[in-house]
Amino acid sequence: MKTQGILLVQQGSPEAAFKLADIEVNVPREDEVLIEVESFGLNYADVMARLGLYRETPPLPCVIGYEVIGKVCQVGHESHADLLGKRVVAITHFGGYAKHAITKIKALIVIDNIPASEAMALATQGVTAYYMANYASPIRKGENVLIHAAAGGVGSLLIQLAKLAGANVFAKVSSNEKGKKCLDLGADYFVNYKTTDYVTFINSKIGEKQLDVSFNPVGGSTYKQDKQLLGAGSRIFIFGGSELSNGKWGKLSQINFLKKMGIELPIFAMMQSKGTIGVNMLRIALHRPEILVVCLSEVLHLYKTGQIKIQVGGVFSIDQLNEAHKLLESGNSIGKISVQW
């Protein structure tokens, strides 16, 4: 069927990269549904895709976007007819920046009348946070936890999940304003990395105890710095590479990014008893979609029971998409950003 979508037509600024156009959407398969989209969310992977730095991006022109809210308007099999007309939040394998989007049955959950600006944070960001903090390697009581980009969509949820688990939380942020928001969410400390060396700050607070967990969507130079802070039995989650987006020299910047992270041999990880866990929810959605259902359901329950709060970073109209992208790329946003049709 024909619908409208925002095409990514070239790399560069939002003004140059995006174009509103008529697009074709496939008929849903047996394990899929078609959603009439009310709004879609932004993630930093969208910025990376626009800059040509996200390897998973389909060939251009394409429609990016990993999460939508809307009503199910068509099902691929009659056994799912009970979903017709239901308002859902769903994770998409690209295609989210459109008025109609296809997704898997296992990648959605009914949300009824939850505000779109809040429900959106439960999708990609909520699932990512829950998967890392409660599913892949659960945070334990008393652990020292570092959260990079702590005021963002994933970071703000990680703070709350870590505190629910009884951890001591260090929030790394780019401004004191963001730091205060993190303290309001339950963080024990915040460190403004633009004015203070975060390694020195954390060492001054924990001394010989060292860190148990780092949640790092930045990569690059911060990876080695985090490894200095981590003690035996620790783990670092790498779920992004935002430091790469600051590079201005194409392939040279990418090589430098990898060089800063370094090359590690598994034998040293064993000897030091330090683990690195890479997280790409797009891959998990493709190969283990049942995990999405678990994480979506659990994070929705935590939200409904008031155990976690959503930080809304901004709601934009479709003709403000460029502004929304610029805000996310700037690093000045707090919480989840969404766009309404």
CATH topology of domain 2-113+311-340: Quinone Oxidoreductase; Chain A, domain 1 (3.90.180)
For residue 289, say if its preceding peptide bond is cis, omega within 30 degrees of 0.
no
**CA 146, 152, 155, 161 torsion: positive or negative?**
positive
Residues pairing with 69 in the sheet: 39, 89
What does the alpha-carbon distance between residue 202 and residue 197 come to, in Å, rounded to a whole number? 9
Kindly report which listed range (10-24, 152-166, 243-257) carries the lowest average pLDDT score.
Answer: 243-257
Give the residue-averaged pLDDT of 262-290: 77
What does the alpha-carbon distance between residue 321 and residue 62 come to, in Å, rounded to a whole number? 16
Q: Please tell me what DSSP assigns to residue 62.
A: B
| Stated pTM of the model | 0.88
Q: Which helix (H) or strand (E) holds 298?
A: helix 289-304
Amino acid letter, residue 68: V
Contact between residue 218 and residue 150 where contact means Cβ atoms under 8 Å apart: no
Q: Which residue, among 324, 320, 310, 321, has the nearest Cα to 153 in the 3D structure?
A: 310
- Reply yes or no on whether the pLDDT at 287 is more than 60: yes
The model's confidence at residue 249, banded by pLDDT at 50, 70 and 90, is very low
Q: Which pLDDT tens digit goes with each residue over 50-108?
A: 999 888 899 999 999 999 999 999 999 999 999 999 999 999 989 999 999 999 999 99
The per-residue pLDDT for 104 is: 93
Half-sphere exposure of 283 (CA within 13 A, CB side): 6
What does the alpha-carbon distance between residue 103 and residue 29 come to, in Å, rounded to a whole number? 9
Residues of the chain with CATH 3.40.50.720: 126-282
Residues pairing with 89 in the sheet: 69, 109
Q: Which CATH architecture has domain 126-282?
A: 3-Layer(aba) Sandwich (3.40)
Which residue did the predictor score with more confidence, 75 or 256? 75
